[in-house]
Structure formats: structure tokens, C-alpha cells
Amino acid sequence: MGKNRRQGRHSFTHNWMKPLNYEELINDRNLHFIEGHISDEEFGNLLNSVDFMLLNYKNITTSGMYFMTLAHNLPTIAPNIPFFKLHSSDKTTIFFDYNEPLGPQIIEIFNIINSGWKPDLEEFEKLKHVYNMKNSAKKISKAFNSLIQTIY
């Protein structure tokens, strides 16, 4: 894929001339799989050292991690679930089918990236204009007030 956007090292060391297999991806030293909670410090380090963020959610209504990647112009690999389809575009996100096995899709996504896919920086700016902290706070406040009125 080229050099890592933050640290100047290669992001993927695999020989792209031969077919990939999932086992090779798992053993690649430049791919890091993190499960569970990520501390604020660790997340900050991740944002500054990765080329892409894979968000493997099944069903969500919001994602602070996604909005942070958006704020940092960090392309996302995400499932084609409603949240991501609503809040991103194919110019900033590479989508995969959550209902299909992830391994073969990741191999295909890496092939797309290696073929020269680049995120559209203008699209990031458009999305950030809509999904900024001020607008998000207004939406949360509106939803909370609506909930309070419904209860009482």
C-alpha cells in the first residue's frame, strides 16, 4: 500500500504479486487486531499510527470511534450496516458485508487498497461539517429532551 501515513514505514509487507490467504494476514507484523475496550491513550496512539481503521460492528446506533476517525481523516473499513451507510460514503469508507465471512472480504479490501484506492479528502471535510461535536451535542440534547417529554 505504500508508506504508513504517520510513521513512514510500510503498512503491509506482504508480496502482493501472489494470492493472499487469511493465515498470512493474521501473521503479518503490520496488522494489529485489538479486541475489547481501548483506553484513551491507546486510541490516540492508534489514530496517529494507522492507515485504516477496521470497525467490525454488528449493529450500532452511534460510534465515537468512527467519529474520531472521521475527525482525523482516517479511512474506515466498516460493515454495510445502516449506521455506516448513513454517516459515511464510499469515498471515505470501504464497506464489507457483515453477513459474509470477514477473512476473504479483508483480502479483497487489501487488494482494493493496494490497487490505489485513496480516500477523498473533500468528502471528509463535507462529512466533518455535518458530523461535528456541536451538531452532535445538539442532536443528543434534542433526543434527550424528546425522551423526557415522552416519559413525563
Residue-level pLDDT at 10 = 30
- Report how far residue 57's alpha carbon sits from residue 81's, in angstroms, rounded to the nearest whole number: 8
Q: Which residue has the cell 501472489?
A: 18
Residue 134's pLDDT band (cuts 50, 70, 90): confident
Residue-level pLDDT at 23 = 61
Whether the predicted model's global pTM rises above the 0.85 cut: no
Residue 40 half-sphere exposure toward CB, CA atoms < 13 A: 0
Q: Which residues contact 24 (CB under 8 A, 6 or more apart)?
A: 14
Which of the pair, 48 or 32, is modelled with greater confidence? 48
Q: How confident is the model over 15-29, as a mean pLDDT? A: 51
Give burial (CB, 10 Å; 0-12/13-18/19+) of 64: exposed
Q: How confident is the model over 9-22, as a mean pLDDT? A: 38
Q: CA-based angle 129:133:136, to the nearest 5?
A: 90
